[in-house]
């Protein structure tokens, strides 16, 4: 079987019976929804019309939430239902980033992900999903899409249907008859600050978690209450805000420092054939190890169920880049430990092997986050082909800045400091070019362009232009280009490290301010 849904917008009256039935049947807490109804109005009085759109999980044939989940808490069943097991979920929220349809949420009671699961417990005993059974207009139709005699297969075959975001390649199985573009496209009718009967205060629903104070969805700077052809969103569920908070940019920054320091350290020894003092070598190793530990700490801190973190290694889903990243970090940590042990025991052959192995794992550690973000199909801005170079450059800048500070602190010779200056000058200049290309270049979708606009001229503009561009890249570039004063170089290195954090912060936050439903 291949279960799916059809929503007949010609019949829907916006009564919310489906929402209430879903909440009652599945004991969905206040503040979150598995099924909800969005109202969009078009036209100018008296020539207006209101459209009702039922939104929920699309039970995709190629579900990105299943692919990104590190612990197989989400799975696609043989009958086509995308189900979840809250007993396995670690609360990493990657599935919410991967879903282009805003279908997943964090349950405020269990602190695990949840969504519509087609009322699988009812289907297994021959009953319809609760929303289908309760709909007074029979506007929701469920059934086997592969059975040509079923009502749903007949509707899909004979009626003109549309799906949401087909360009994502997920093959959604939630079809709309007479679906309105302004209702299905979240960019056409901007979110409002609040809606009648749907406002909530802090401490309810999504915000009952760790209280990160995540910002909500941001309207375009040029938007008023209208967008496109007089389309207005007049009723919807409250914004889920940012799914990933400050811990994620902190983790990316700590990872960049750890991997970048060891990459620069290995390059100085193996490529540039520099003679590094033992004090500097041990300092570089210690910093790499310390920031690798911080990376793991920030990763665990971001989980809503940190008590289940070991499941990533003990019950992994090897297709997930979260698991691949965890294995990479573990391997990198093992090579760091091996280098330290071989150095302490004075085993040169093992030390050389650990250096090359550690450098390889440091390189993968630096860039794997680009593939993780790329798997988050709900965030168009992260689909940029330049993200891998972005991550690599940030790691090299963080590592080069930290190595320059360590070199200054350990009294390294001017030859080494001069080389680090040159490398940082080239790195800052190239990073500025890459950032401007990412922000001002051609974007594949309106969502990606809107995220770039938020960074360039929206609510994140001060953090980007002051913290990342000016303070974190341009000023350090000018200092390393024109000055050799140790204090100035130390200040430039410190600014470079701050710039890496601010860059990652705005790159993580901006796409999450784009509505997905």
Q: How far apart are CA 397 and CA 426, in angstroms?
A: 10
- Provide the phi-psi class of 221: left if phi over 0, else alpha when psi is between -120 and 50, else beta: alpha
The answer to whether 7 and 174 are in contact (CB under 8 A) is yes
Which DSSP symbol is given to 474? Answer: I
User: The tokens of 160 are what?
Assistant: 């003109």
* pTM of the complete model: 0.92
Asked if 265 contacts 288 with a C-beta cutoff of 8 angstroms, the reply is: yes
Q: Is residue 228's pLDDT more than 60?
A: no
Which of these, 471, 451, 450, lies nearest to 462 by C-alpha position? 471
446 near 228, Cβ under 8 Å? no
Tokens of 69: 């989940």
pLDDT-derived band at 220 (thresholds 50, 70, 90) equals: low
Mean pLDDT computed over every residue of the chain: 92
Calpha distance 394→256 (Å, rounded)? 6
pLDDT of 333-366, one tens digit each?
999 999 999 999 999 999 999 999 999 999 999 9
How many CA within 13 A on the CB side of residue 168? Answer: 26
Q: Residue 416's Cα: distance from chain center in Å?
A: 38
Cross-strand pairs, 6: 141, 175
413-465 pLDDT per residue, tens = 999 999 999 999 999 999 999 999 999 999 989 999 999 999 999 999 999 99
Give dist(CA 169, CA 444) in Å, integer.
14
pLDDT in tens, 122-133: 999 999 999 999
Residue 143 has pLDDT above 80, yes or no: yes
What tens digit of pLDDT does each residue of 380-419 get?
999 998 999 999 999 999 999 999 999 999 999 999 999 9
Is the Cα dihedral 455, 471, 368, 316 positive or negative? negative
| Residue 304: DSSP 8-state | S
CA 334/CA 332 separation, integer angstroms: 5
């Amino acid at each position: 079987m291949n279960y799916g849904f059809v929503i007949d917008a010609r019949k829907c009256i916006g009564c919310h019976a489906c929402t209430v039935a879903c909440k009652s049947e599945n004991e969905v807490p206040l503040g979150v929804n598995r099924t909800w109804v969005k109202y969009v109005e078009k036209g100018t009085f008296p020539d207006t019309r209101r459209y009702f759109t039922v939104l929920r999980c699309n039970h995709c044939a190629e579900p990105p939430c299943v692919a990104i989940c590190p612990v197989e808490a989400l799975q696609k069943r043989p009958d086509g239902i995308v189900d979840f097991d809250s007993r396995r979920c670690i609360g990493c929220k990657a599935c919410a980033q991967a879903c282009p349809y805003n279908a997943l949420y964090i349950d405020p009671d269990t602190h695990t992900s949840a969504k519509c699961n087609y009322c699988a417990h009812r289907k297994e005993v021959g009953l319809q999903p609760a929303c289908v059974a309760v709909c007074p207009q029979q506007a929701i139709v469920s059934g086997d899409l592969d059975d040509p005699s079923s009502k749903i297969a007949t509707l899909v075959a004979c009626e003109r249907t549309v799906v949401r975001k087909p360009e994502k390649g997920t093959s959604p199985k939630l079809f709309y008859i007479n679906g309105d573009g302004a209702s299905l496209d979240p960019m056409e009718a901007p979110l409002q600050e609040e809606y009648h009967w749907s406002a909530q205060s802090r401490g309810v629903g999504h915000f009952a978690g760790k209280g990160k104070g995540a910002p909500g969805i941001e309207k375009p700077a040029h938007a008023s209450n209208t967008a496109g052809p007089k389309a207005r969103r007049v009723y919807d569920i409250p914004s889920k805000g940012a799914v990933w908070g400050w811990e994620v940019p902190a983790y990316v920054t700590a990872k960049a420092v750890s991997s970048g320091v060891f990459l620069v350290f290995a390059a100085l020894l193996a490529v540039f054939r520099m003679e590094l003092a033992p004090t500097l070598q041990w300092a570089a190793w210690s910093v790499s190890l310390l920031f690798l530990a911080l990376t793991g700490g920030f990763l665990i801190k971001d989980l809503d169920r940190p008590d289940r973190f070991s499941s990533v290694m003990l019950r992994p889903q090897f297709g997930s880049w979260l698991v691949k990243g965890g294995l990479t970090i573990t391997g990198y940590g093992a090579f760091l430990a091996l280098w330290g042990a071989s150095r302490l025991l004075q085993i040169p052959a093992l030390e050389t092997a650990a250096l090359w192995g550690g450098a390889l794992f440091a390189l993968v550690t630096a860039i794997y986050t680009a593939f993780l973000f790329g798997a988050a199909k709900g965030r168009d801005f992260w689909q940029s082909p330049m993200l891998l170079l972005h991550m690599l450059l940030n790691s090299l800048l963080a590592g080069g800045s930290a190595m320059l500070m360590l070199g200054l602190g350990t009294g390294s010779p001017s030859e080494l400091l001069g080389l680090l200056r040159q490398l940082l000058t080239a790195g800052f200049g190239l990073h500025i070019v890459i950032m401007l290309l990412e922000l001002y270049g051609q974007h594949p979708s309106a969502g990606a362009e809107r995220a770039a606009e938020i960074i360039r001229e929206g609510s994140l503009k001060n953090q980007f232009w002051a913290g990342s561009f000016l303070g974190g890249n341009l000023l350090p570039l000018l200092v390393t280009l024109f000055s050799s004063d140790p204090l100035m170089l130390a200040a430039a290195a410190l600014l470079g490290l701050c710039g890496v954090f601010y860059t990652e912060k705005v790159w993580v936050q901006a796409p999450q301010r784009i509505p997905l439903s």
